[in-house]
Structure 1
Amino acid sequence: MSKLIIDANRSNFSINFKELFAYRDLFFILAYRDLRVRYAQTFLGVLWAVIQPLFTLIIFTIVFGKAIGVSKDIPDNIPYTLYAACGMSAWTYFAFVMNQAGNSIIGAQGMIQKIYFPRLIIPLSKAIVGFVDFGVSFLFILVLMLWHGVIPSGNILFLPFYIFMTILTALAVGIWLSALTIRYRDFQQIVPFMVQFGLYATPIAYPTTLFNEDYRWLFYLNPMTGVVEGFRWSLLGTDPPNPYSWISFGLTVGLFISALYYFRRVERVMADIV
């Protein structure tokens, strides 16, 4: 039997990756449990991963594509539905992980109060669950590409990088929210608003080129802006990501590091205040 030593004097920022690896079975069990619960007793099952973004895509096509005429500004004559679907795929994964990870600690309070394990496993497991929806939505994009006769560009080699940045961004925000929600339960009400606001603040239904270049950099204060543009570039061969994308990526790294630091601080008293 291995000996477990809990050091109260350990640095707030230190992350014991060896300990996280030792609890990998619990990590996968939590992810598997969430998958089963999510799709248990549902008639359509994983098809909901397509239905929900599909209706949003229809609204975007009617409002932005037809009524406002954004489709005229889409580069390289790419069909508007395909253009918006690529953005929706990345955003849907981000929104799911952010929402689920943000409320994950509150939902596991019974387990947290009874046994010890690295609490970081709980929000991290949500990234695995979100991959099911992401995979289904990605297949939907491939179907649209076949339908419109669009061939993936050679930039697809960079797609794994943007998938990684999507995961990192979702976990950065999700870990922050999971720690903040413990102390301030108001964040349970704020998260749905953040998802709705972020959907329109992120250039999913429109390109950033619609806006004056002097103010365009403001969009890249949203970490998901660089990711969404990178998704389109790697899949559809649109214009290369704006150099401002590095602002988004830098913010993502900063958010992730600070999220780990704050989570470690709260973890010490988590069982007492959850």
Structure 2
Amino acid sequence: MNQIVIDSNKRALFLNIKEILDYKELLFMLAYRDLKVRYAQTFLGLLWAAIQPVSTLVIFTIVFSKAARVDTGTVPYPIFALAGMSAWGYFSFVLSQAGNSLISSQHMVKKIYFPRLIIPISKALVGFVDFFVALIFLVILMLIYQYPPSLNIVWLPVFFIITVISGLAVGIWMSALTIRYRDFQHILPFLVQFGLYATPIAYPANLLTGKLPNWALSFYYLNPMAGVVEGFRWSLIGGDALNTWSYLSFLIVFFLFVSGLYYFKSVEKVMADIV
């Protein structure tokens, strides 16, 4: 039987990755529980994971492709939009679920010891289901339109990892902030709704790069998903090389992830008292 020693003198900003691995069974159990509860006693089951992106895609196609006539070049608009929605859908799911995860699991946080970081990470695992369903639907659209994937697909694993990290980065930050300031429970839906249109999902980013001044573009790409969505789409359907502003978003993702881990660790020691 493993002996667990809780040392209050340990540095607050020390990240014990091995401890998280030691609790991997709990991590997978929480993810399985959430997945089971999510689709329990539903008539359509996993089809709900496809209904949301499909309905959003229909709206985007009508508004941006037919009405606004957004130019996506040689790429059929449904493929263009869904390629961006796949990455955004995962990010928004993790942001929403991880943000409130500690409050919804406060009974566990108060009673037993385990690395609290496991709770928001488990939400990231659950998000893979919707993510892969969206990708399957994207493959189906490519077959229908007879649009082959780009040779850039060799970079897809890289942008897949960046997408996961971006979701975890903001999710970890929001979960820790929500514990201290419950106002963030009300801010989360607004962030998701605002981010959907502030991210180049329904339109290509080059619509902005040629029209906005540099200071405005730098502000736009402070949105971590602006570059991530563009990179994820580029790896799937090709197109022009990523603009240099996208790398600003990648730096923001890295900064949010690292700083989020340390902030979460600083809050973790008092989490049971303030939850």
- The bucket for the TM-score relative to the shorter chain is over 0.9
The one-character-per-residue Cα deviations of 1:55-107 (angstroms, maximum 9, x if unpaired) are 1111111111111111xx213x1111110010111100100011111111001
Give structure 2 stretches of 5+ with no counterpart: none
Kindly indicate whether residue 246 of structure 2 is the aligned counterpart of residue 248 of structure 1: no
Q: Determine the C-alpha separation between the residues in 2 that align with 1:63 and 1:150.
A: 23
The runs of 4+ residues in structure 1 deviating greater than 6 Å are none
How far is the alpha carbon of 1:216 from its aligned partner?
3.2
How far is the alpha carbon of 1:17 from its aligned partner?
1.2
The one-character-per-residue Cα deviations of 1:92-129 (angstroms, maximum 9, x if unpaired) are 01000111111110011001111000000000111110
Q: Determine the C-alpha separation between the residues in 2 that align with 1:83 and 1:93.
A: 17
How far is the alpha carbon of 1:213 from its aligned partner?
4.9
Q: Determine the C-alpha separation between the residues in 2 that align with 1:9 and 1:197.
A: 42
The match for 1:100 is 97
The match for 1:223 is 224
> Retained in 2: the 8 A contact 1:221–1:248?
yes
Name the amino acid aligned to 2:119.
Answer: I
From 84, 87, 96, the counterpart of 1:87: 84
How far is the alpha carbon of 1:194 from its aligned partner?
0.4
How far is the alpha carbon of 1:218 from its aligned partner?
3.1
TM-score normalised according to structure 1 size: 0.96
The match for 2:47 is 47
Kindly indicate whether residue 158 of structure 2 is the aligned counterpart of residue 157 of structure 1: no
Q: Determine the C-alpha separation between the residues in 2 that align with 1:245 and 1:186.
A: 31
Aligned residues: 271
- Aligned pairs for 1:70-85 (under 5 A) are 70=70, 73-75=71-73, 77-85=74-82
The match for 1:181 is 178
3-state DSSP of counterpart to 1:13 = coil
Q: Determine the C-alpha separation between the residues in 2 that align with 1:12 and 1:169.
A: 24
The match for 2:133 is 136
Q: Determine the C-alpha separation between the residues in 1 that align with 2:114 and 2:82.
A: 39
> Retained in 1: the 8 A contact 2:87–2:163?
yes
Give structure 1 stretches of 5+ with no counterpart: none
Name the amino acid aligned to 1:242.
Answer: N
From 92, 97, 112, the counterpart of 2:109: 112
> Retained in 2: the 8 A contact 1:20–1:118?
yes
The one-character-per-residue Cα deviations of 1:151-170 (angstroms, maximum 9, x if unpaired) are 11111010011110111010
The match for 1:6 is 6
The match for 1:273 is 274
TM-score normalised according to structure 2 size: 0.96
3-state DSSP of counterpart to 2:221 = helix
Q: Determine the C-alpha separation between the residues in 2 that align with 1:268 and 1:186.
A: 21
Kindly indicate whether residue 69 of structure 2 is the aligned counterpart of residue 69 of structure 1: yes
Segment drifting more, 116-125 vs 6-15:
6-15
> Retained in 2: the 8 A contact 1:208–1:219?
no
Q: Determine the C-alpha separation between the residues in 2 that align with 1:172 and 1:252.
A: 7
Give identity over the alignment, percent.
61
Kindly indicate whether residue 229 of structure 2 is the aligned counterpart of residue 232 of structure 1: no
How far is the alpha carbon of 1:171 from its aligned partner?
0.5
3-state DSSP of counterpart to 2:190 = helix
